Amino acid sequence: MKTPDLLRLSRVSGRILIRLIGLSWRVQYIRFMPGRAGRVRSNPALFAFWHGRQLPLVHTHRNEGVTVLVSQNRDGQYATNILHSMGFRTVRGSSSRDGLKAVREMVTVLRNGFDCAITPDGPRGPAESAKSGLAHISRLGNRPLIPIGASGWPAVRLASWDRFLLPLPFARVPIVEGRPIRPMKREDDPKHWNERVETELNRVTACADLLASPSVQFFNRILKILGAILHYPTSIALLVRPGRERKERKGNVKSTRNRPVWLHGSSLGELNGLKPYVQYLKRNGIPVWITCFTPSGRSYIERIGLEGSYIPLDIHSYVDRFIRRIKPRAFILAETEIWPVTILSALASGIPCMMINGRLSRKSLRGYRYLGSLPARLLSCFTGILTRSDEDRKRFLSMGIDKRIVSSSGDSKMFADHGDPPPSWRTSLNTDKPVFVAGSTRQGEEEPLLKAAEKAGYFPVIVPRHLERIEEVLDLMTGMGFTPVKWSKLAASHSDTLDFDSVLVDVHGVLARMYGAGDAAFVGGTLVPLGGHNVLEPVMRGVPFVVGPHHFSYREIVEKLRLSGIAHIASSHGEIVVALTSILSNPRKRKDIINEFDSLKGNVFDDFRALISRSGIIESDTGR
């Protein structure tokens, strides 16, 4: 006798309970598109959400006539009673019982222009794993799928298979509506389409959890207070900067209507790593907007003819103004440029975020751990993180980031081909000696390199990492007995009119090609504990190279190239001499080295294409 009574009571008691609790909730609705989806807003759709997150949505989408797929078991009957009392319709069935009948009914509802909702992992799980029925309903119903994530705090998580979420009275309840996913087509791969759905559902659910977190809310308030405090001092400091930079640092950029993909690289190195991806997006008709942090990066963006600007300073008012003006469809970070206000603002605006060439040193990892779980929560909201190496991947995972979004891909800088140097560059050096190009050198590296080049019989070409050190390095070379000439002077004169035995490069943007004018190279930032710079630039030009012991940013690549006889590791002046002598006595053909470079490309570009496809930036890729 109790069961019939409970079934009758569930309709009334469920409505009263949900309405009473729901009225006290502080609901925050985040959406990617300008307006919420749904028939009542003239946008009929197929909604999808994970099984354990449905209760908040029963409140937020009540009385909208949404048809929900409910299982045939007894729990499903209770759910049906409650849903009917809240203004929903239902179709009964599941993958194990009356599945085909339920699919046909859902398809009919969608074709008639009404909304449907489904939990892709229901009714028994496994949790957060989409079943195949969703793809068929989407294809036959021909309606866009809207992924929705819901969370709440404070809340209770039940000890059920789906960890059912029950927000408590007066809870903060974020609802995140993701990017619409086009209906699956007959020629699409259902498995690939399901992966796309799972990726977006995981993203919006993680975003909802992030926005519900009290620690994140507290951190965000602190950032807003700091932004308000720093607003006037930064405005005063920017007065000494050029007019364009002053405007762009405050987010004052021209408005766009084409919803570009926003890509950010801090300086020239990161921007070079972005270049092949920019080209891929543009080939697919996707507009891009590039941001950078340094003046040299801004000049580079302008020089290659792309739309872009300085990234706004990490202050809420500046970042929000920037996002409102360019309205990005996605945000892609190069390496590990974690700007907390920028990322939080992008996520709060419903913008999918991704990271490529992700790197994380041991030092940075220790620093992030002082912030507790916040960095992991933030990065778990990303659609994907492609790391440069497996070591980087393991460090990201050790932070507690969702392992489903982190994968080791490689470094896209290997694709940034600046071309061979003009033959005149080597001719202008006016030397019969083999040429040793030391690139991106740091303080403390030039002296042992110059000594080693002299002893091994090389003509040294020094390219400091920072141009503000040019005079310092020039004095060092002169003090060591060299007669150096600056590259800017050499390029503007006839070399036979100058007396010099070494070259100091004092201009930006020539290093990648300058390696090609050498017979051996050194990659800086490795004799000092900085991790090293791009070791692939000399390899791309077919030049063997030497690195110091601190090459941890490229450890895996250096080890592979060392086994091939292309890379040489040296810790002291004497070991550098041995390495340079070995390169002369055991020459490698440039063609063979370039072939080795080609083999290192691996799956970097394929992984990026897969990430873009899962993100929905290029919908035509879905299902390929």
Last residue of a domain, one of 410, 444, 463: 410
Q: Are residues 238 and 299 in the same domain?
A: yes
Q: Are residues 299 and 356 in the same domain?
A: yes
Report the 10 Å Cβ neighbour count for 106. 26
Q: Are residues 242 and 359 in the same domain?
A: yes
Whether 48 contacts 131, CB under 8 Å: no
pLDDT level of residue 414 (50, 70, 90 thresholds) = low
Q: Distance from CA of residue 486 to its chain's centroid?
A: 39
Highest-scoring range by mean pLDDT, 167-181, 260-274, 607-621: 167-181
Predicted pLDDT of residue 277: 87
* Residue 102 domain flag: yes
Model pLDDT for residues 194-227, shown as the tens digit of each residue: 888 998 999 999 999 999 999 988 988 999 999 8
Domain CATH for 273: 3.40.50.11720
Q: How far apart are CA 53 and CA 95, in angstroms?
A: 20
Whether 163 contacts 127, CB under 8 Å: yes
Report the 10 Å Cβ neighbour count for 109. 23
| Residue 417 Cα distances to 273, 275, 310, 412, 576, angstroms | 10, 9, 24, 11, 27
Nearest in space to 551 (alpha carbons), one of 521, 572, 526, 519: 526
Predicted pLDDT of residue 354: 92
The mean pLDDT of the chain is 87
Predicted pLDDT of residue 599: 75
Q: Are residues 189 and 222 in the same domain?
A: no
The helix/strand/coil state of 308 is: strand
Last residue of a domain, one of 211, 232, 260: 211
Q: Are residues 15 and 120 in the same domain?
A: yes
* Residue 611 domain flag: no
Query: How many structural domains does the chain have?
Result: 3
* Residue 615 domain flag: no
Residue 545's φ and ψ, nearest 5 degrees, are -145, 165
* Residue 609 domain flag: no
Whether 507 contacts 514, CB under 8 Å: no
Residues spanned by the domain of 231: 214-410
* Residue 161 domain flag: yes
Q: Average pLDDT for residues 511-536, to the nearest whole number?
A: 93
Predicted pLDDT of residue 620: 38
Of residues 153 and 416, more confidence is placed in 153
Q: Are residues 95 and 111 in the same domain?
A: yes
pLDDT level of residue 583 (50, 70, 90 thresholds) = very high
Task: Look up tokens 């100091």; give the residue.
Answer: 504
pLDDT level of residue 132 (50, 70, 90 thresholds) = confident
Task: Look up tokens 């690289």; give the residue.
Answer: 265
